[in-house]
Amino acid sequence: MAEVVSLAEAVRSAVHDGDTLALEGFTHLIPVAAGQEIIRQRRRDLTLVRMTPDIVYDQLIGAGCARKLIFSWGGNPGVGSLHRFRDAVQNGWPAPLEVEEHSHAGMANRYVAGASGLPFAVLRGYAGTDLPGVTSTIKQITCPFTGEELAAVPALNPDVAIIHAQRADRAGNVQIWGLVGVQKEAVLASAHSIVTVEEVVDELTPVPGAIVLPSWAVTYVAEVPGGAHPSYAQGYSDRDNTYYQAWDAISRERDTFESWVSREVLV
Amino acid sequence: MAEVVSLAEAVRSAVHDGDTLALEGFTHLIPVAAGQEIIRQRRRDLTLVRMTPDIVYDQLIGAGCARKLIFSWGGNPGVGSLHRFRDAVQNGWPAPLEVEEHSHAGMANRYVAGASGLPFAVLRGYAGTDLPGVTSTIKQITCPFTGEELAAVPALNPDVAIIHAQRADRAGNVQIWGLVGVQKEAVLASAHSIVTVEEVVDELTPVPGAIVLPSWAVTYVAEVPGGAHPSYAQGYSDRDNTYYQAWDAISRERDTFESWVSREVLV
Amino acid sequence: MTETDLTYTTDEMMSVAAARALYDGASCFVGIGLPSTAANLARRTHAANLTLIYEAGALGAKPDRLPLSIGDGILGETADAVVSVPEVFNYWLQPGRIDVGFLGAAQLDRFANINTTVIGEYASPKVRLPGAGGAPEIAASCREVFVVVRQSRRTFVEQVDFVTSVGYGRDGTDRARLGLPGAGPTLVVTDLGIMRPDRETNELVLTGVHPGVDVERVREATGWDLRVAPDLATTPAPTATELTTLRELQAATGTDTGE
Amino acid sequence: MTETDLTYTTDEMMSVAAARALYDGASCFVGIGLPSTAANLARRTHAANLTLIYEAGALGAKPDRLPLSIGDGILGETADAVVSVPEVFNYWLQPGRIDVGFLGAAQLDRFANINTTVIGEYASPKVRLPGAGGAPEIAASCREVFVVVRQSRRTFVEQVDFVTSVGYGRDGTDRARLGLPGAGPTLVVTDLGIMRPDRETNELVLTGVHPGVDVERVREATGWDLRVAPDLATTPAPTATELTTLRELQAATGTDTGE
């Protein structure tokens, strides 16, 4: 059963140096506050997993928390590049960043395999691309019935999945609606999970399009209103597009980034 | 885009002798009326696919429509055995019935593979059971990353999937709620599909827990109120448990079954 | 308040004994029929926080009567979450998240293998049974498995005619060799008593008899030379609360259910 | 009613030309940025029954402004169906259900291969780009692919530095050999003109120029010796309706979007 705790306590208990973490969210419901709490608690040597690393991963990378990134698309959505990510890959600042890159289809299926307790997933993917040449976690597999060759990718099983959701009840059942992305799979694939929510309520009244993660599949729930900012939480907040644009300037140079971290996160 | 037609027309256009059909429904929303229309149109030599063949498959088998059954659990749920199914397997009446049997997990994954455009699916299943010895569509596969042995099953890709749903709009978008079973996968795995619905409405107002099959993924929609009877359609009708019990007596002997078919279906 | 009639049937004893085995806070993958009766009884007596999972897609179902089928509407309506059938098997059962798989059987053998496929030869069966359903993977993947089944020589056989779901395999040693994730059947509850696998050989051993049942009667209803535990227990008779709750559940249902 | 200013930018011409290529009734897997602009313009002009699919999980999105990101709330709110990201890729894209995949590119080569991974060497890139996203499987599985990208020598290269998504492969013959389900890129729309693959060799050939653009200008913006179709067309200028609709869409959005 999930424990309802503070975000700081959840991160302190669940996230350790050297862990593999998946902070998931597909534009919607990105667990930004949780990512910044990890920076605040100065976790190091993390392997960060995400289909669409965006500014919260740029922040984690720039702050020196990450050793490796497993991903399929890294950018500032609607704006451009992630400068801290680029600086780490191109110049090794503040630390070299190992990358393991896949396509979205591959990453989604790696989570599905992880959530399903399977060691690998099969997909039609990667054929003819240069990705298998640079990513060792892409192999071929032969259909035992038709002889067809397909791609195989290994399961993702992070130590901790971290997501943001609209609501949880006091028992720790989590309700998510709108674009739900790959969050359920990330939580089910991981050994532990932290779910930040807009609010903890007495009862989860049904909402069209909502899915529920039962309490016994979640480790920690933390109430963090606005915890997805600058992304949005459908029914609670709109996307702060200005922030995404402002991030481009903040993150472009190392010193503006560092003063931002000191000022906005490490306080 | 789905065409909204009569059930008779949908079956006439989509279902041919020798076809492989999946009439799916997991206790809830079983497309019984469509099955009886197939009996009425005297289709023959069908390969019938379903995880849980129940009385509508007993009726199709007893009426001589089926050549083969691909399934994982065949019974009269809450009552007992399917007498027509038993008579076909044990005595070849009214015709021999080939069976290809799997577990629920295997069948569900076969539909998933079919819906996903993959030739096979991988699961942890069947190990140590006698099923692989009698079912040739269960093979082993080795994980290319861990060397683990797992089960592989081939995709199911029926000619026609037939399901019952609560509602469709006039454009043919289909809305289903409550226990949704494996119906989406069955439709997406099949070349064509028929969806009978309780009602065709102007607009599909959102319902908690509902899924929508977009019109362009469906071939025919037919309005058949009560088309799931004696099973139920959440929000429209309750399960007729008495009918399931009555079926035991009707189906037990060949002559009572045959007079039932003449009287209730072939009219 | 009317006094509870403490006279009970052997089926009531069986359901009560099976219910007692479920512990509070457990997640339980429930087959319809006897397992469902026992699991719902447990949830209404000592195990209020039992999470009931039904293969039709209900996670955390809280029915106020016994479901009449595996996809009874009351399961989805009262569940914490409703998911598709593929999701139940792939995301919830397969990874080993479920504590207890609760199964019935048409035949059960000395090593707790389960047959629900055919009696007789597969190609020309004497009796064609419903088939596997969810059982093979429930038996493989749940942390442990409880079996509840009425005991007779016809059901309790030396070797099942067909291994639909693996207990410990034909010679009791298969489970480890196959690398099955769960521990397998740790408990068999019948209308006569209780059996558990021997720690060494995995052979089912009689560890308890229900009140008024003697060992000889159980052995007569068993198709192999049944071993009896040295510390054979006698099941405590159903309490008034257990009987009242079971009878209320069944009255609310209107009819008994069998798979 | 104010009169539409019929003066248009090269970007407007590009979006209009790309939109025209989409046919009514098609299903289109839409990348954010230029493809999304073109697809939404098409849906508001000649292709009202265009089904827009966004990888974040929106099937049949009907936004009344341009989405600012691939997971903009307006996509889910207006969609016929919202599904999980794994479902988009596995149930909808992979089986070849989608008519058109609409992609951008950082580099594009002679055989329409797309690079969005790195400029320079992979191990020590000059520029680290965002990566593959959904593109490799969109390029493989859609019935055909349209690419929309601004044309320059930096972007239109002889050989991409990295094949993120396959057009016709390094020598133009890979697609058939690999057994990819879709036909591949059948159309490239730029701010200067239109290219299509040669039927025999799959090399991109200039088949149209936008009004006021001459062939030499296109060749200067192309990093290989660009072939020109004998029946080179000139794209009709944007109509008043097209321009009005495009500008209204962009005004409603408040800001232009780039991936």
Helices (H), B50-155: 55-62, 83-91, 104-115, 131-134
Report field, pTM of the whole predicted structure over 0.95: yes
Please tell me the distance in Å from A28's CA to the nearest CA on chain C.
22
Q: Which of D67-81, D128-142, D189-203 has the lowest mean pLDDT?
A: D67-81
Q: What percent of chain B has pLDDT over 70?
A: 100
Residues 51-70 of D with CB under 8 A from B: 51, 59-60
Q: What is the mean pLDDT of residues C221-227?
A: 98
Cis peptide before B94 (omega within 30 of 0): yes
Residue pair D66/D77 in contact (Cβ under 8 Å)? The answer is: no
pLDDT (tens digit per residue) in A228-266: 999 999 999 999 999 999 999 999 999 999 999 999 999
CATH T-level fold of B3-102+157-264 = Glutaconate Coenzyme A-transferase (3.40.1080)
Q: What percent of chain A has pLDDT over 90?
A: 98
For chain C, helix (H) and strand (E) counts, in that order, are 8, 15
Domain boundaries, chain B: 3-102+157-264, 104-154
Asked if B touches D (at least 3 Cβ pairs < 8 angstroms), the answer reads yes
Residue D125 contacts B where some CB pair is shorter than 8 Å: no
CB contact under 8 A, B115 and D90: yes
Catalytic residue from among D12, D55, D137, D203: D55
On the question of pLDDT at D255 being above 70, the answer is no
pLDDT (tens digit per residue) in B191-222: 999 999 999 999 999 999 999 999 999 999 99
CA–CA dist C64, C79 (Å, integer): 12
On chain A, the residues whose CB falls within 8 A of the CB of C80 are 173, 212, 214-215
CA–CA dist C108, C116 (Å, integer): 9
On the question of pLDDT at B43 being above 80, the answer is yes
On chain C, the residues whose CB falls within 8 A of the CB of A212 are 80-81
pLDDT tier, C2 (very low <50, low <70, confident <90, very high otherwise): low
For C175, the closest chain B residue by CA position comes to: B128
On chain B, the residues whose CB falls within 8 A of the CB of C257 are 78
For this structure, is D87 an active site residue?
A: no
pLDDT (tens digit per residue) in B114-153: 999 999 999 999 999 999 999 999 999 999 999 999 999 9
Higher pLDDT, B138 or D32: B138
Amino acid at B145: F
**What pLDDT score does D69 carry?**
81
For A208, the closest chain B residue by CA position comes to: B208
Mutate to test the interface with D, among A24, A103, A111 (most CBs of D within 10 A): A103
In a 10 Å sphere around its CB, with 0-12 CB exposed, 13-18 middle and 19+ buried, how is residue D190 labelled? buried
Amino acid at A13: S
On the question of pLDDT at C56 being above 80, the answer is yes
pLDDT, mean over chain C: 94
Q: Which residue shows structure tokens 């979006």?
A: D15
Nearest CB to A208 within list B137, B140, B207: B207
Two tokens, residue C44: 């209404």
Residue pair D170/D177 in contact (Cβ under 8 Å)? The answer is: no
On the question of pLDDT at D256 being above 50, the answer is no
On the question of pLDDT at C257 being above 50, the answer is no
Q: How far is CA A124 from CA A120, D95, D176, D235, in A?
A: 14, 9, 15, 37
The set of residues, in sequence order, having a beta carbon less than 8 Å from that of C212 and lying 6+ positions away, is: none
Residue pair D51/A224 in contact (Cβ under 8 Å)? The answer is: no
Two tokens, residue D223: 């990093």
Two tokens, residue A213: 């993660």
Catalytic residue from among C55, C137, C203, C242: C55
CA–CA dist C19, C35 (Å, integer): 9
Q: What is the ipTM of this complex?
A: 0.97
- Angle of helix C240-253 versus helix C34-44 axis, rounded to 10: 120
Residues 228-257 of D with CB under 8 A from A: 255, 257
Residues 45-74 of B with CB under 8 A from D: none
Residue C130 contacts A where some CB pair is shorter than 8 Å: no
**What pLDDT score does C258 carry?**
39
On chain C, the residues whose CB falls within 8 A of the CB of B102 are 132
B-D CB pairs within 8 A amount to: 34
In a 10 Å sphere around its CB, with 0-12 CB exposed, 13-18 middle and 19+ buried, how is residue C177 labelled? exposed
CB neighbours of residue B153 within 10 Å: 28
pLDDT tier, A70 (very low <50, low <70, confident <90, very high otherwise): very high
| Beta strand B220-223 pairing with B192-201 | parallel
CB contact under 8 A, A118 and C94: yes
Would you tell me which CATH number, out of the four given (3.40.1080.10, 3.90.1150.10, 3.20.20.140, 3.40.50.300), belongs to the domain C3-253? 3.40.1080.10
CA–CA dist C142, C134 (Å, integer): 12
pLDDT (tens digit per residue) in C94-111: 999 999 999 999 999 999
Ramachandran quadrant class, B160 (left: phi over 0; alpha: psi -120 to 50; beta: rest): beta
Kindly list the partner chains of chain C, i.e. chains with 3 or more CB atom pairs below 8 Å: A, B
Residue D109 contacts A where some CB pair is shorter than 8 Å: no
On chain A, the residues whose CB falls within 8 A of the CB of B207 are 208
Residue B127 contacts D where some CB pair is shorter than 8 Å: no
Give me the residues paired with residue D118 across strands. Answer: D128
On chain A, the residues whose CB falls within 8 A of the CB of D117 are 101, 130-131
Two tokens, residue A176: 């998510």
pLDDT (tens digit per residue) in B144-191: 999 999 999 999 999 999 999 999 999 999 999 999 999 999 999 999
